[in-house]
Chain A
């Protein structure tokens, strides 16, 4: 054993790395954002270029109520996680249930909107470029809402059956990152489709 004058870092330097769940979700969000950007670009590119058929101005109505529901669900989910961190499982369950209900209201609203568009206004994905880009962009977002809702419902079931405690808070953090992302995307979709598009 040769003795070496070693003066590397102080050995007691704490070695803390970021949480892999958070980083993984952040990466997923970047990837998903890139997908959404392409669909939004396609929507903007074809805005007002449809050949005939119903135009956005004729058929689209501002989904104010469902938008408020979706955006406030971000807040309720945040309170749910805060409650969980303080070990208030009851509050966690209640706020999580509220989040699920609000998300469901949003989805039902989208469903009713689509029903009206298809069966009353006769706008399908095949009708014109507006139909093509509208259903694909809004549908892509709705798909993400469905996926998020399924995960939230799973968390709620675990919560109600007593399988959740404050140790799981960081997992709920990761899930709520996803949900906040879905909400943020809706702000962009809402602006592009319902405000600029009309």
Chain B
């Protein structure tokens, strides 16, 4: 090892084994976590809170699938069904997707760029708690209302809350107020965290880590976070307008007084479509880290990957109205949004080919993180293809609001994003806890998940093509939808079982998993150079990097990475 190479090698000289602390009382531990400003603890809290909501949102999905498994089912009432799909969508996007990705970002970004913490640690804690408060506020609506199965007076306006459904007349009581407030609060939290990540990536990099040497994960979090404050802010503004409408009687979305429901759609989707990319770019980020390590090759086309990500970020801000082809915007607007939507498949395609080129000829290890990444590659490709189909306005006119659309976006959200989140869990769990997750349970999880996923969302396209609309609580027999709906419901249950195996694996491995060591995957980025779990200051000495793969330089001093940049 060359001590002179970098600060990194001297890290190994210092004893990083965590000091055994005396057992703390439960209240002390709680106090530690509630008051912490450490980016790793906040990241873990984000992840824990989104896992809780993942289970809740999953239960809501299962309730819907039980209701739709057979025609004329009476498992839930229409009202409860409406609440279920509203809460399922809202929960999964705002309280699972965003927080889990911010959780990983919080945990990984400072570690990967060699910083000791985020740029604004206290803002970080504030953002977490206000987001979490938003999530719990949504479910607080359950308390004290009427309705079956404890659904109380939960919101029932759909996750997009189209006007005029949200007007006082159509949505009496406080359910929509809970929805608005919870989204508003979590939006403020998201903007705070995004701002923090951008400032961290720009201002906190360790010496030598130029922008063109940052891990792609840091790059993608930079792009995603920049998109958050361009895309989530409009949503916040729209929520303020909706609250003004509901509380003080203004008329933004009140058609009776000349207001416009279409304006809400625009404002919502100006947020809503970039949101898809806000969620999927971190999934790309995980793939960028995991696929090279498990193929034993450097990522193919680093500059192209960066350019494609920035390109996706820009183009995604101009595609929102492809959710509104059926509204009647006129041919000019439709053509613009058809083409902007199609153009986004170019940078996305660049990414897929770069991942394939990275895998090509590599020494592939099919550990759980790689399995999920391969599943991601395949499923993301299919999701992209149905996406191109739906970007064609005439095709969209036929199928918008049908189960084909539901199948398409679940292909992205589950097949791509959730699969990569699982991969990220298997990959970074050893770093966060010091223990490996069980490979055997991981394989069970993966294969059950793949089977359940394809059973559910492949077959969901078919009733959509046969004309089954979204958001119906039941249907007539004899339209050819029964068999497909039954298969879809069975697939959903299999996915639920797979997820439970995953949760069991998390808990079991936390206590019983085999010790991981600092660098169990033989990886190349900075987070693997410190102890597992990392000490509260991350690095004993500030690392200095000279290439994109600092640990490779240390492990292979005869063939350092900077020769190839």
Show the binding face of A for B, using Cβ within 8 Å. 1-4, 6, 8-9, 15, 17-20, 23-24, 27-28, 30-35, 37-39, 42, 45-46, 49-51, 125-126, 128-129, 131-133, 135-136, 140
Contacts and interface: CB of A to CB of B under 8 A. Distances in A.
Contacts of A51: 257-258
A17 B115 CA distance: 13
Contact of A126 (B119, B232, B248): B248
B199 A1 contact: no
A43 to B, nearest CB: 11
Given A27-B198, A136-B250, A34 B237 contact: yes
12 contacts: A4-B557, A4-B560, A17-B203, A18-B202, A20-B119, A32-B233, A33-B233, A38-B237, A126-B250, A128-B251, A132-B244, A132-B250
A27 B282 CA distance: 19
Contacts of A24: 119-120, 123, 195-196, 199
A35 B237 contact: yes
Nearest to B235: A38
Interface in B1-17: 1-5
B237 A39 contact: yes
A18 B119 CA distance: 11
Q: Output the residue of A17, A28, A38, A131 with the most chain B CB within 10 A.
A: A38
Nearest to A28: B195
A186 to B, nearest CB: 18
Q: Output the residue of A3, A9, A32, A140 with the most chain B CB within 10 A.
A: A9
A133 to B, nearest CB: 8
A161 B296 CA distance: 62
B5 A6 contact: yes
A30 B229 contact: yes
B203 A125 contact: no
B191 interface: yes
Interface string B173-216: 00000000000000000010011101110111101100000000
Contacts of A9: 208, 546
Contacts of B119: 20, 23-24
B267 interface: yes
A4 B2 contact: yes
A51 B256 CA distance: 10
B191 A45 contact: no
The bracket for how many chain B residues form the interface is 35 or more
A51 B190 CA distance: 38
A13 to B, nearest CB: 8
A15 B207 CA distance: 6
B126 to A, nearest CB: 13
B234 A34 contact: yes
Given A1-B3, A4-B5, A17-B205, A49 B258 contact: yes
Nearest to B256: A51
Contact of A45 (B237, B263, B557): B263
B558 interface: yes
B194 A45 contact: no
Interface string B549-565: 00000000110101000
Contacts of A129: 251, 257-259
A136 B203 contact: no
A129 B241 CA distance: 12
A131 B240 CA distance: 16
Contacts of A32: 233
Contact of A20 (B194, B203, B238, B257): B203
Contact of B258 (A3, A20, A128): A128
